[in-house]
Amino acid sequence: MSADSKPDSKNNTKWIVLATVMIGTFLGGLNMTIANLALPKIISDFGITVSMAGWISTAYIIANAVLVPVWGKLGDMIGRKKVYILGFSIFIVGSILTGLAWNFSSMVVFRVIQAIAVSADYPTAMAIIAVTFTEGRERAQALGIWSASFAISSVFGPLIGGPLIDAFGWRSVFFISIPTGLFGIFMALRYVKEFVNTKADANFDFKGAVTLGLTLTALVLVLEKGLDWGWFSIDSIITYAAVILFGTIFYFTERKNKEPIVDFKFFKNTVFVGTLANNFIVFMGMMGAMFLLPIFVQTYLGYGATQTGYLFMPMAFFMVLSAQIGGWMVGKVKANWVICISTLIAAFGIYLFSFYIDPKSTALDIIIPISVMAMGLGLGMSQRTVAITSSVPVHEVGMASSVLALARNIAGAFGIAIFSTILTNATKSSVLQIAQNTVIHTSNPMIIGEVTALIGFKAQITAFATVFTVSSILVLIGAIVSFFVKIPDFKNKKTEQVPVE
């Protein structure tokens, strides 16, 4: 078909396309969640330490972050459908191999293969949706539904993974992805049209890909291991230097390349930069806080993995509901207002945790804040994604989507690193403060031991409340940033595609 041919906007198959890419996104999110549930059993079977097991997750996160921009660029160059199906196929192979892993080393390698596949999903899926739904408001609705699929997967992870691990062992959580993955490939082959960038140069930017990969590897590595190493240890300082060195090389390499992995001209676009900044801040605050919430629930409230999953079910419901409301508001309410208000609601929801964090907390005490936060996140989801994809030429939407995905990944890593450090430091500070204000009128060693344990316990609870307070302030800053971003009206805005049948 010619460059100015367009898909029929009345064709109902576009909603089937949306359902198809949601399968991949759902499986990618599910894979991350259930793999973490399986770690205790893997540690036991392979006879490894908790520290060693951490590399199973770290290697996965690094590979995922490194490959996202590469897949996004390849999708723009050779076709999103090709890249999407290739990623799906690698995911199935990786799932089979991970389920068959025989030791720690093989597990790490096979998890990296899975991460390579999952990193292909986000930028290509978003790009496929962006070029399939050409009308601004409808696109927002589709992107909102699609974005919510990741949140839903995080809920179903414990619900599916917990019983599977208990009944059939940890290997079953990887094999369960195979039939669904095969179905997803069939759907993609049948319904997804190919879209390629006819303006792109056929030469792939290998130098940029390598230097970006080295930069992100060093960055994610120090964010994941910095707390264990010490943020100012020799290992951390060497890693910081690697980030600066390879990042500098990458920047000057991309400036000279006609078809860069990351086009730095995006960062001259105020809409792109402002929306990206809001996304980064919101995800850093949210991921940092939400990473610690299951730990609190299981450690101090005594919930199991499956019970914890039940607590998160309302989060998925309210996120999907508010995403639809946000999509409906596209073109009716200014996008920066919607993003600002949604971020304020999310900040308020996170702040509520600082009041409800208590060993006597009920399930409702956790569900209320998480539901408020989910309403806020979902409400602005469509607006953020549409702002990013609509602020760049359609033939570069894959690259723009990959930058957004990369920003979210790095923001999550930053959030977890920063708030884990805050939790540790706040605990130490609280112990000292509580101890200074505690008087023990006995020399009985048993009572002294009990009081010491209670001081530590109280300090940890206080530290969790501090983390959620800081997180809410950070997200509040994201709301302020978004208010000043002048996002154009998306009402009746259409884009052109280059479909290839």
Residue 9's pLDDT band (cuts 50, 70, 90): very low
- On whether residue 395 sits in a domain, the answer given is yes
CATH of the domain at 488: 1.20.1250.20
- On whether residue 218 sits in a domain, the answer given is no
Structure token pair of residue 131 = 């070029």
Q: pLDDT of 430-474, one tens digit each?
A: 766 766 666 665 666 666 666 565 666 677 778 888 888 888 898
- On whether residue 50 sits in a domain, the answer given is yes
- On whether residue 122 sits in a domain, the answer given is yes
The domain in which residue 466 lies consists of 13-205+257-432+457-500
CB–CB of 145/19 below 8 Å? no
Higher pLDDT pick, 162 / 249: 249
Looking at residue 200, its pLDDT comes to 53
Burial of 456-468, coded b for 16+ CB within 10 Å and e otherwise, reads: eeebbbbbbbbbb
Higher pLDDT pick, 234 / 268: 234
DSSP state of 267: G
Report the alpha-carbon distance of residue 375 to residue 356 in Å, rounded. Answer: 18
Q: What integer is the mean pLDDT of 37-63? A: 77
Higher pLDDT pick, 127 / 6: 127
Structure token pair of residue 147 = 């974005």
pLDDT of 491 strictly over 90: no
pLDDT of 45 strictly over 90: no
pLDDT of 164 strictly over 90: no
Q: What integer is the mean pLDDT of 97-105? A: 90
pLDDT of 202 strictly over 70: no
- On whether residue 251 sits in a domain, the answer given is no
- On whether residue 234 sits in a domain, the answer given is no
Q: Is the dihedral of CA 264, 272, 288, 114 positive or negative?
A: negative
Q: pLDDT of 345-387, one tens digit each?
A: 999 999 998 887 777 888 888 889 989 988 888 888 777 777 7
pLDDT of 242 strictly over 70: yes
Q: pLDDT of 280-336, one tens digit each?
A: 888 887 777 666 777 778 777 877 766 776 777 788 788 878 877 887 787 778 878
**Tally of structural domains, the chain:** 1
Torsion of CA 32, 36, 469, 365, to 10 degrees: 100
Report the alpha-carbon distance of residue 313 to residue 315 in Å, rounded. Answer: 5
Give me the amino acid identity at 351.
Y
Report the alpha-carbon distance of residue 145 to residue 327 in Å, rounded. Answer: 9
Give me the amino acid identity at 478.
G
Q: What integer is the mean pLDDT of 239-244? A: 92
- On whether residue 101 sits in a domain, the answer given is yes
CB–CB of 350/475 below 8 Å? yes
> What rounded mean pLDDT belongs to the chain?
78
- On whether residue 423 sits in a domain, the answer given is yes
Report the alpha-carbon distance of residue 16 to residue 37 in Å, rounded. Answer: 31
